[in-house]
Structure formats: structure tokens, C-alpha cells
């Protein structure tokens, strides 16, 4: 198989990012096979033009030239690939793009498992949110062999505005994403702290939001997530518990490197507190709910 023959891709995990990536692949002319446990997601992708959808990728494993995994964590990646038997059922030399946020060690373990089945891995975490995924404009930070990049070029072209080649060593892509998540988590936590202080000072949050988004203190995460606070809408785009996981990966990486991360540690404590308070399945902007003595739009006391 060479890159010109990669015409079919199985997209496993049809959440906010996976659905957008799958639709982008359909628009690019690829045969897309969608996999998820959510019947509504399967129906939506089927209506968007998927070749087939199922709760188990083994149903069409032999049809796939490439696989894109956009699940939540390493445990899910390993379950999909190895516990279900998918890796054993894929054609030899199939390219597997692992886009979950995972540790470098997990990435290396997954690669070893794939190699045992003569499969090729690209360690390729993604960023950009649901809107960028829907538009085929994600940012992908990837590491792997030149062959992996070549084989997956049609998928990369379809789903990303920016593809960064971090190097050949599996785990480098995962590490870059973890460092990115340090910033994302700290920015959300800092944004929540600022908006909580504004609420305490009786400054209208829509006004505070407008000021910051037109001034030097703005960030993409503030602009995106604090709008949820202003709207009082905590329906999850990315959950509090996702950042508990990701900031724990940050902490583990820092521990391995014997490197202090005071701001990331504080942000992790905030997200963990929010999760323990019952907000774990809400949008990650719900981390603002850890602050007492304030009134927030749409939040009953």
C-alpha cells in the first residue's frame, strides 16, 4: 500500500472533535467508516455521507486503509485496538493515527502493540475545538515515521490547517500536546478566577468579558470558555473531568522530568475540586463554580 491508495478511513470516537474530523474526511472524498457507542452520533454521520457506521470497527476492519482514533484516553485507545481485536483484524501496514491526549509512555506501548500486528502508528494529538474540527482546520502535532506521515497524508490534509512534524520518535507528539494542555488548563482556570473576581465586585460579567476580549489580557481559552459563563451554559463541549485527566498527565510528565509547575498544580487542584463538587461532567468552564460567595448567570444558589 502507498499513499495514493489510502482512500478509506475508520474514524473511531464521534464526539465534538471526531465528528468534525469524520465529516471533513467525507468532504475530502474519502470513504469514511464511523464508530461510536452513541446511536445519535452514528445516525448523524450516516446522514452526512459515511460509507458505514457501527459500534464495533471490526465489522469493516478489512475495508480500512487508515484508522483515526479520537477517543478520550489511553485506556480507550488500548481497548479499541487490542481488547476488541481490531489490531489483529486490520490489513498489514494499515496506518493508525492515535489522536487522544495520552502520555508519551502510553504512546510507546501502543506503538509496540501495533508493530506486533505489522501496523504503522502516527502519534498525532489534535487541538482546535469542535468548530475547527468541523471546518477541517485542526492543529495536529504529530510524531512518527515518514511512512506514517505519507500514508496518512489524505487524512491530515482533510482534517488539519496545520500539521507539525515533531520528529520520528513516538511520544514526542504526545508530549507537545501535554505541554499545550498545561497552557489550556491554566488559561481556563485563570479566566475563571478573573470572572469570579468580577462577579464578587458586582461588575456585569458580559461587560467584563467584552473588556477582556478587546484588551491585552485575552486568550483563546478565555474568549471561548468564559462566553459559556456569561451565557450560563455549562453543557459540555469539553468536560471538567477531561482537564482533571490532562493536567494529571502534565503533573506526571513534570515529575518524570523533575520539573516544578506551580501554576499547573494550582489549576489541577481547581479542576479536581470542581469535579469533587459534582461538576465533572459539565463544561470545563464550570471550574468557576469552585468559588463561593458569587452569583453566576444561570446558576441557582
Q: Enumerate the β-bridge partners of residue 68.
A: 11, 97
| Known catalytic residue at 177 | yes
Q: How far apart are CA 172 and CA 194, in angstroms?
A: 33
Alpha-carbon gap, residue 238 to 107, rounded angstroms: 22
Task: Give the β-pairing of 138-144 and 126-127.
Answer: antiparallel
Catalytic residue among 23, 78, 132, 177: 177
Active-site amino acid positions:
177
Amino acid at each position: 500500500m502507498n499513499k495514493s491508495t489510502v482512500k478509506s478511513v475508520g474514524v473511531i470516537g464521534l464526539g465534538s472533535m471526531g465528528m468534525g474530523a469524520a465529516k471533513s474526511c467525507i468532504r475530502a472524498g474519502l470513504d469514511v467508516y464511523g464508530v461510536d457507542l452513541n446511536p445519535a452520533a452514528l445516525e448523524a454521520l450516516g446522514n452526512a455521507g459515511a460509507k458505514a457506521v457501527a459500534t464495533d470497527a471490526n465489522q469493516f476492519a478489512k475495508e480500512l486503509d487508515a484508522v483515526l482514533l479520537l477517543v478520550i484516553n489511553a485506556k480507550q485507545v488500548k481497548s479499541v485496538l487490542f481488547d476488541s481485536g481490531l489490531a489483529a483484524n486490520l490489513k498489514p501496514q494499515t496506518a493508525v493515527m492515535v489522536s487522544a491526549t495520552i502520555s508519551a509512555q502510553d504512546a510507546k506501548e501502543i506503538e509496540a502493540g501495533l508493530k506486533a500486528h505489522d501496523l504503522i502508528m502516527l502519534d498525532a494529538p489534535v487541538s482546535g475545538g469542535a468548530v475547527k474540527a468541523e471546518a477541517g482546520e485542526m492543529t495536529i502535532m504529530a510524531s512518527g515515521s515518514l511512512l506514517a506521515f505519507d500514508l496518512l497524508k489524505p487524512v491530515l490534509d482533510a482534517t488539519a490547517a496545520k500539521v507539525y512534524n515533531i520528529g520520528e520518535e513516538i511520544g514526542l507528539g504526545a508530549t507537545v500536546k501535554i505541554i499545550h494542555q498545561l497552557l489550556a488548563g491554566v488559561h481556563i482556570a485563570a479566566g475563571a478566577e478573573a470572572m469570579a473576581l468580577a462577579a464578587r465586585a458586582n461588575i456585569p460579567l458580559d461587560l467584563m468579558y467584552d473588556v477582556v476580549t478587546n484588551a491585552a489580557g485575552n486568550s483563546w481559552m478565555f474568549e471561548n470558555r468564559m462566553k459559556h459563563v456569561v451565557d450560563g451554559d455549562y453543557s459540555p463541549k469539553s468536560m471538567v473531568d477531561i482537564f482533571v485527566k490532562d493536567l494529571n498527565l502534565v503533573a506526571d510528565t513534570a515529575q518524570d522530568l523533575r520539573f516544578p509547575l506551580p501554576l499547573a498544580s494550582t489549576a489541577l487542584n481547581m479542576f479536581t475540586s470542581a469535579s469533587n463538587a459534582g461538576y465533572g461532567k459539565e463544561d470545563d468552564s464550570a471550574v468557576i463554580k469552585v468559588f463561593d460567595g458569587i452569583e453566576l448567570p444561570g446558576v441557582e444558589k
